Amino acid sequence: MSTWQFEATDEHDTERLAAALARLLPERVVVGLEGTLGAGKTRFVQALAAAAGHDRSQVVSPTFVLVQEHLGDRPIRHFDAYRLRDDDEFLALGVEEYFDAPGWSFVEWSDRVERCLPAERLDIRIVVTGETSRRFELRAAGSEAEAVLARLPAGLTR
């Protein structure tokens, strides 16, 4: 399992990381997002979605609806496990079908439903390090996610 860290000093750095990642993510991927309330999980999904051609303003926190789907050339499913009681409630959302379909699946609070996530995935932990700064800790599980992490540092220089 490979890991990699990125220090974002401001929103511009977060946008840059998201754009680089959007260029590298495979057609079908599950990304687990962890971090405290206000760490920027939804903000990061917004930046990734915008880099993939989606309207950023349509990407909002799915806390109360649990899953939002954004269709287009690159479908995005955005889940929030914060309010779920257990794994069964998460599975009842039909996540396995979403995970098997082409597109990107982002799961906020993924640590709460980790046993339900596929073995092949990318996990991103966002740590608040200051008012506008964040540390992104990326962990790859599986060969596709490993390949993304291997190419990501070079992708940031573009």
CATH code for position 30: 3.40.50.300
- Per the structure, the count of domains in the chain is 1
Surface-to-core class of residue 124, CB atoms within 10 Å of its CB (0-12 exposed, 13-18 middle, 19+ buried): buried
Q: Is 59 helix (H, G, I), strand (E, B) or coil?
A: coil
* Predicted local distance difference test score (pLDDT) of residue 7: 97
* Radius of gyration for the alpha carbons in the chain, expressed in angstroms and rounded: 14
CA dist 135 and 109 (Å) reads: 17
- Residue 105 in contact with residue 30, Cβ under 8 Å? yes
Its pTM stands at 0.92
Mean pLDDT of 58-64: 64
Q: At residue 91, does pLDDT exceed 90?
A: yes
pLDDT of 118-157, one tens digit each?
Answer: 999 999 999 999 999 999 999 999 999 999 999 999 988 6
- Residue 112 in contact with residue 84, Cβ under 8 Å? yes
* Predicted local distance difference test score (pLDDT) of residue 64: 53
Confidence of residue 1 (pLDDT cuts 50, 70, 90): confident
**Segments forming the whole domain that contains residue 63:** 2-155
